[in-house]
Structure 1
Amino acid sequence: MKEIKYFILLFFSVLYVYGQSDDDPVQFTTEVRQISDVEYELKIRAKIYEGWHVYSQYTAEGGSLPSEFTYKKAGEDYELVGETFESETVTEYSDIFEVDETFFKDEAVFTQSIRLLNAEVRQIDVNFFYQVCKEVCIPVDHDFAFVLDGGEKVTTEESIDEHSQALGEALNLELKNKERLRGAGDVSQGETGLWMVFGLGFLGGLIALLTPCVFPMIPLTVSFFTKHSEKRSKGIANALLYGFFIVLIYFLLSLPFHIFDSVDSQVLNTIATNVWLNIVFFLVFVFFAFSFFGYYELTLPSSWANKMDAASTKVGGGIGIFFMAVTLAIVSFSCTGPILGGLLGSTVLEEGDVAMNLSMGMTGFGLALALPFALFALFPAWLNSLPKSGGWMNTVKVVLGFLELALALKFLSNADMVGNWGILKREVFLVIWIALFALLSLYLFGVFRFPHDGPKQKLSVSRKLIGFLSAAFTVYLILGAFQVSNLKLLSGFPPPTFYSVLENESDCPLGLDCYKDFESGLSYAKQVNKPILLDFTGWACVNCRKMEEHVWSESDVYEILKEDYVLISLYVDDRKELPASEQFSYKFDSGRVKNIKTIGQKWGTFQTINFNAASQPYYVLMTPELEILNEAVQYTDKETYKNWLQTGLKRFENRALANIQ
C-alpha cells in the first residue's frame, strides 16, 4: 500500500530536479570559524520562506526524503568530527506516509566540525540534497564551497574565475532591433490549443466512465439522489451539485502545478528534457499498464474512502455531497489514476504552459465524469437504456493498458535521445509499437486472455471493429517502418527520421544543412552573406518534431530553408558534456551562479539571457551582424511560418540594398 502512496506523490514531487531559480523558497548563507590550526567549524544557515519546510537528516524512514550532506574528499584532505548538528526541528504525523516526520520551519542551521589532514587545503566542497515542501515537495541539490582563510568568520559568495567570465561574456549577444522580438506567439498555446487539451481530458473522462470502477456507480448514485429526496426537483438539484463537485475536485488537483510558476519559469519544462525523470515516467506508466492488465490493483488507502463516506453521512447538505464526490474520486482511482497519468504525460509532451494545459485537461476529465450523473438525474428513464456491466469493461481496461505502454515508450525514447544513448532509434521504436498493437489486435480477436477476463464468449461487433482498427494501425506502422508512409499522423511521437539505425548524410532535420554551434553558424553566415534562422529545439520536444515534419517538410517552406537561410539548431536538452576547456560557470545579474557542463545547459542559458525565453520550439531570424529581422515565433501553421520567413528575407534584402546605396 505504501508504494501506491509514493506513486500518488510522484506527480507532485518529480517536477523540479537539477535546477534552481532566483526565487527559490530556501535562501542560504555559509560561515567558517577556525577552532584551532587544523580544526574548523562549517555552518550552513537556511532561510525558509513562509509556508515551506525542509526535512531533517533524521526524519523517519518510510516518509519524505531526508536531507543529506556529501562532504567531498572527506577522509582524504580532512576528516569529519562528529555528526552534522541541526538546529531546532518540528515533528508532525504524516497521514500520507503514516509516520512521524521531522522538518524545519522558517530557519535551519547545520553545523559540522572538521579536522584537516592536509594543511594545504584551503577549500571544502559540500553537496546538500534536501526536500523543500509546501503543497508539493521539491528535491534540490545545492553545492557549497567553504573557503578557509586563517580563522576569520566569512560569509561565502559564489564567484567565477576569469575563464568562466570570458566564456559567460561570449554568451551575451549585442542584438540590434531587439524590440522586434516582442509579440512572439505560439499558436498551439492559444485558445485553440487549450480547448484541444480540454477535449483530450474530456475524452479521457468518457473512457473512464466505461471502466468497472465508475460505470456501475452511475445508476446507484443517481437512484440515491432521486429516491432519497422529498421532491424530484431536490433530487435533481443534488445530483447537479454532485456533478459540479466532481468537476471542481479534478480541477483542484491541477492547482499545485501552478505553484511552480513562482519557483522557476523552466521547472515544468524540465520534465520533458530530463533523462531520469523520463525514465521514472516510463516505469510509472508500465506500472499503470500492468494494473490495467489485471496483474494487481492500484488503489488508494481504503481508510481515505471510509473517512470521506463517514463525513458525507455526518455532515449532510451541500458539504456532505462534496464528500460524496471525493469518495467517488478515491474509490475509482484504480481505473481513473492511470488515465489521469496518461493525461499528465500527454500534457507534459505538449510543452508550453503545462500548468494551464493540465488545468484544462483535468477540468475536461471531471466534466465527462460528472455529465452522466447530471443527465440521468434529469432524465431517469434513460437509466434503462444503459448496457449491463460485464466483461466488456475489462476489455476497455486492457485496451487502455496497451495505450499506456505505447505512451510509456515515448518517455523512454525521450531519455534515449536526450542522453545520446542511441538505443531506441526510430526503427526500433516503431518495431516495438508494431508488436504492441499487433498483440492488442490478437487480444481483441480472442487469441489470448488476461487474468481478470471472464469465461470465453462470442466476440461482440464493437470488439471486432476495434480489433480491425488496431490491425489497420499496425499495418500503418509497418509501412512507416519501411518508409512507405511518412507517419505524419504520429509526428512528434516516434524519434525523428534522422535519428535512425541507417546511415544518414545529415543529422539535421529533413536532411537540411545545419549548424549545432552558434559561433560556427554565425561565421558561415558572414562568409556567404545569408540571414540566420536560429532554431532553439530539443531532442524531447514534440512540437519541434511537428514543426519539422508538418511545416518544414512542405516544399515551398523547405526550399526557403535550404536556399535562403543558414540554419543554426541549438538543442537545449542535450546532456552530452562539453569538453573540459569549454565548461564554465555563468553568473546572472542577481548573483546566482549556474554551472554549465553540458551542451544543453549552454544553449538553454544562451536562449534565456538573450531572448528571455525558455520554451521550444523558438525561432529567431537575424542577420550575420546580429540585427533581428522579425518577431520570434514558436509552434505555428505552415502559412504563418512561410510568411514569417519571407518577411525576414525581404527585410534582409532591403537592408543590403540600403547599404549599397
Structure 2
Amino acid sequence: MIKTFLHSIWLILILGFTPTANAQDPLTDLFADQPTFLPVDEAFKFDFHQEGNELVLSWQIADDYYLYKKQFKTVVKDATLGEPQFPPSDQKEDEYFGLSEVFHHQVDIRYPILQADKDAVVKISFQGCADAGLCYPATVKVVYLEAVTGDSQGTSAQENRSEQFELADLLSSDQSLAITLALFVLLGAGLALTPCVFPMYPILSGIILGQGKQVRTSKAFSLSFVYVQGMAITYSILGLIVASAGVQFQAALQHPAILITLIVVFVLLALVMFGLWELQLPSAWQEKLNNLSNQQKGGNYFGVFLMGAISGLVASPCTTAPLTGILLFVAQSGDLVLGFSALYALSIGMGIPLILFGITGGKLLPKAGNWMNVVKVTFGFMMLAVALLFIERMTENLWTNLAWAVLGLATFSYWQVMNQNTPTSFFKGLRGLLIFLGLFASAFYAYQSLGLKTPTASIQSDTASTHGVDFVRVKDLQDFQVKLADANAQGKSVMIDLYADWCVACKEFEKYTFPDPAVQKALGNTVLMQIDLTDNTPQSLAFQEEFHVLGLPTILFFDTQGQEVANGRVTGFMKADAFAAHLGRLPL
C-alpha cells in the first residue's frame, strides 16, 4: 500500500514539472494500444414483448460483439414456458469453450407461454463477449408477464392452426368416436364436389347407364353402393400407406407406366361408349375388353367393385385438409384401426353424392327415345376427359391445351347434330344457345392457347414467373436453407410451395390462389419459393423427410427468424379468400 502511494506521488510530481505544454501525456502513451469496450447494456441492448401466448426476447448486439447460445438460461415463477425457439446461429472457434454457437447483430428468442399468472416473473440470464477479447459476466434481466390461462393459450394457438391440425387433434381427443366419424362423413361429402372426384361421376354413370336401358332404382343403388365400397376401401388402404411412406408413395402411383395404363383403359372405355369395337384390335384383347364391358353393363358386382377400386387410384393424388388431418394422426399415433375408420368414413362421405347421382341420373332424363345413345356417347366424351386428366399429370403444354379445346369442339358439335333432330321447342332453342356458347368457348380456348408463348412454367431456373407470380426455385434442402437465410437477412419471411407435375391442386393454387390481389398483399413481406417434388429423387425425399411431408399440395411458412410457423402449413387446395384469411393469422 505504502509503495503504491509513493509511486503515485512520484508520478504526479514528474507530470507536474513537465516543461512543454504540448508534450504527450504519459498516461495516454501507456494506454494508447488498449481497446475500449462498451458497457454491457450498450453492447447487448435488451428488449421484450408478449404476443398473446408467446414471449419474445430480443437483443440488439453491437458490431464486434456476440452472445453465446448455450448461456441463455431462464428461471420462471408463477408461469410455465415451452421450449425456446432460436434463430439460426453462427459457429465460432472459442479459445476457452471450443467450437461454440453464437449470435451476432441481433437475436430474437421465442418462448411459448403455456400458462402464466398476472405479473408472473421470468428471469433471463445471458452472457457474451467482444471479439477484442473481453468477456462479460452473466447478466440477468427480469420480465413480467400478462396472465395466460391454459384455455386462452389453447384458443390463441388455435387461431394460427390449419384445418388439418385441428382435425388431427379431433381424432386424438376424448370426443365420441361416432361424432368424430360422422364429421368425417360430412367432410367427405364436401370433397365430392372437388375436381379430384369429378372423374368418378362419368365412370359410375357409364357403369349404370352403359347397357342402354332404364335401370331400376334398387339396381342403380346397389351398383352405386358396391362401386363406392371399392373406392372407399382402396382409398383407405392407400391413405394408410401414404401415412407410413409419405408423399413418395403418391409419386410412385403417378409413374408414367401406371398413368399410361389408366389412360389406355379409359380411352378403351370411351370407345365402348362410342360403339367402335369394329376397330381392328387383336382378337384376344377385343374379347377381354368386350367381356369387361358386358360385365359392367350387366351389372356384375365384382366388375363394378373393381372399377371403384380403380377410382380410388384416380383420387389418390389429391391431398386435402381432412385427408391430411387423418394421415397426420396416423403418422403420429400409429393407431391404424382408428386411422382406417376415419379414412373409410371420409370415403363414404365422398361416395354419398356419387350414390345419389347414380340413383337419380336416369330418373332425371326422358323415359324413352334416342336420348340413350346421346347419353352413351356423352359419357364416352367424359371418359376421354378422364384420360386427358391423367395425361396432364405427366405433362401440361400447348398440345394438352389444344386437346381440351378439340374435345370441347367435338362434344358440342355432336350435341348440335343431335339437337337438330329434335322437335322445335323452347328447350331446343335453349339447348342450341348453350351449345353455341360451348363451341365459342372451346374455339376461344384454342385461340388463347396458341397465343401463349410459355404454356406452362418449367421448374428449372432459380427464378420464374407462374401466372404472373414470381417464385424462387429451390433445388434441394441445402439450397432452401441458404435461400431461407438470405431472405431472413433481409427481414423477410418465406413461403415455400411444394409442387409436383401430377398434383392438380398444385396447379390450381398457381392459377387461382397465388395471383389474387388479397393474397399478394398478405405476402408483401414474404419471399415466395417453390420446389419440384415430381420425381422421387434423393434430394426430394430428403426434403420430404426433413419436414414430414405427407402429401401434396403442401405449403410451408417460415418466419423472419427462419423457424417454421407452428401449425401454419396448408395442405389441399384453398380458394383465394380463405388462403388470404389464413395468411392474416400467421406471424409473417
Change (3 A) 1:402 1:445: same
Q: Is residue 2:438 matched to residue 1:473?
A: yes
Change (3 A) 1:498 1:433: closer
* Alignment match, 1:510: 468
Unaligned 5+ runs, structure 2: 1-108, 115-156, 168-183, 278-285, 325-342
Aligned partners of 2:585, 2:230: CA distance in 1, in Å?
44
Change (3 A) 1:435 1:278: same
Aligned partners of 1:397, 1:205: CA distance in 2, in Å?
11
* Alignment match, 1:364: 353
The counterpart of 2:393, out of the listed 400, 414, 427, is 414
Aligned partners of 1:557, 1:282: CA distance in 2, in Å?
36
Q: Deviations over 1:385-423 (max 9, x none)?
A: 98444422111111111122122122112112xxxxxxx
Letter in 2 for 1:530: K
* Alignment match, 1:252: 229
* Alignment match, 1:430: 401
Residue correspondence of structure 1 range 251-650 to structure 2 within 5 A: 251-254=228-231, 255-265=233-243, 266=246, 269-270=250-251, 273-296=254-277, 299-300=290-291, 329-330=299-300, 347-348=315-316, 350-352=318-320, 353=323, 358-370=347-359, 387-416=366-395, 424-425=396-397, 427-446=398-417, 458=422, 468-483=433-448, 498-499=456-457, 506-517=464-475, 518-561=480-523, 563-573=524-534, 575=535, 598=537, 601-607=538-544, 609-623=545-559, 625-630=561-566, 631-634=568-571, 635-648=573-586
Aligned partners of 1:269, 1:511: CA distance in 2, in Å?
27
Change (3 A) 1:253 1:554: same
Aligned length: 372
Structure 1 residue 527 displacement after superposition: 4.0
Q: Deviations over 1:169-204 (max 9, x none)?
A: xxxxxx9989989943259x9776522444668965
**Aligned partners of 1:184 and 1:633 also within 8 Å:** yes
* Alignment match, 1:184: 162
Structure 1 residue 534 displacement after superposition: 2.0
Aligned partners of 1:504, 1:523: CA distance in 2, in Å?
16
Aligned partners of 1:623, 1:543: CA distance in 2, in Å?
25
Report the 3-state secondary structure (helix = DSSP H, G, I; strand = E; otherwise coil) of the residue aligned with 1:629.
Answer: coil
Aligned partners of 2:380, 2:370: CA distance in 1, in Å?
16
Letter in 2 for 1:347: A
**Aligned partners of 2:493 and 2:559 also within 8 Å:** yes
Higher Rg of the two aligned structures:
2
Report the 3-state secondary structure (helix = DSSP H, G, I; strand = E; otherwise coil) of the residue aligned with 1:540.
Answer: coil
**Aligned partners of 1:536 and 1:619 also within 8 Å:** yes
**Aligned partners of 1:623 and 1:629 also within 8 Å:** yes
**Aligned partners of 2:270 and 2:384 also within 8 Å:** yes
Unaligned 5+ runs, structure 1: 1-174, 223-238, 306-325, 376-384, 417-423, 449-455, 487-493, 576-595, 653-661
* Alignment match, 1:63: none
**Aligned partners of 2:318 and 2:504 also within 8 Å:** yes
Structure 1 residue 515 displacement after superposition: 2.5
Structure 1 residue 611 displacement after superposition: 2.9
Change (3 A) 1:371 1:394: closer
Aligned partners of 2:450, 2:356: CA distance in 1, in Å?
37
**Aligned partners of 1:285 and 1:341 also within 8 Å:** no
**Aligned partners of 1:498 and 1:510 also within 8 Å:** no
Q: Say what the alpha-carbon RMSD is for the aligned residues.
A: 4.9
Aligned partners of 1:214, 1:177: CA distance in 2, in Å?
67
Report the 3-state secondary structure (helix = DSSP H, G, I; strand = E; otherwise coil) of the residue aligned with 1:506.
Answer: strand
Letter in 1 for 2:262: F
Report the 3-state secondary structure (helix = DSSP H, G, I; strand = E; otherwise coil) of the residue aligned with 2:276.
Answer: coil
Aligned partners of 1:414, 1:290: CA distance in 2, in Å?
22
* Alignment match, 1:140: none
Report which stretch shifted further, 392-401 or 244-253.
Answer: 244-253
Letter in 2 for 1:366: I
Residue correspondence of structure 1 range 126-275 to structure 2 within 5 A: 183-185=161-163, 194-198=188-192, 207-208=205-206, 211=209, 213=211, 215-218=213-216, 245-246=222-223, 248-254=225-231, 255-265=233-243, 266=246, 269-270=250-251, 273-275=254-256
Aligned partners of 2:500, 2:365: CA distance in 1, in Å?
47
**Aligned partners of 2:554 and 2:569 also within 8 Å:** yes
Letter in 1 for 2:399: V
Structure 1 residue 626 displacement after superposition: 2.8
Aligned partners of 2:580, 2:263: CA distance in 1, in Å?
37
The two structures have a TM-score, normalised by structure 1, of: 0.46
Structure 1 residue 280 displacement after superposition: 2.1
Change (3 A) 1:210 1:339: same
Change (3 A) 1:344 1:271: farther
Structure 1 residue 512 displacement after superposition: 1.0
Aligned partners of 2:253, 2:453: CA distance in 1, in Å?
14
Change (3 A) 1:214 1:396: closer
Change (3 A) 1:516 1:477: farther
Aligned partners of 1:437, 1:536: CA distance in 2, in Å?
31
**Aligned partners of 2:234 and 2:309 also within 8 Å:** no
Aligned partners of 2:259, 2:556: CA distance in 1, in Å?
29
Letter in 2 for 1:329: G
Change (3 A) 1:414 1:206: closer
Aligned partners of 2:462, 2:405: CA distance in 1, in Å?
23
Report which stretch shifted further, 528-537 or 177-186.
Answer: 177-186
Letter in 1 for 2:387: A
Aligned partners of 1:214, 1:551: CA distance in 2, in Å?
42
Aligned partners of 1:340, 1:464: CA distance in 2, in Å?
38
Letter in 1 for 2:393: N
Indicate the percent of aligned positions where both proteins have the same amino acid: 16
Change (3 A) 1:192 1:274: farther
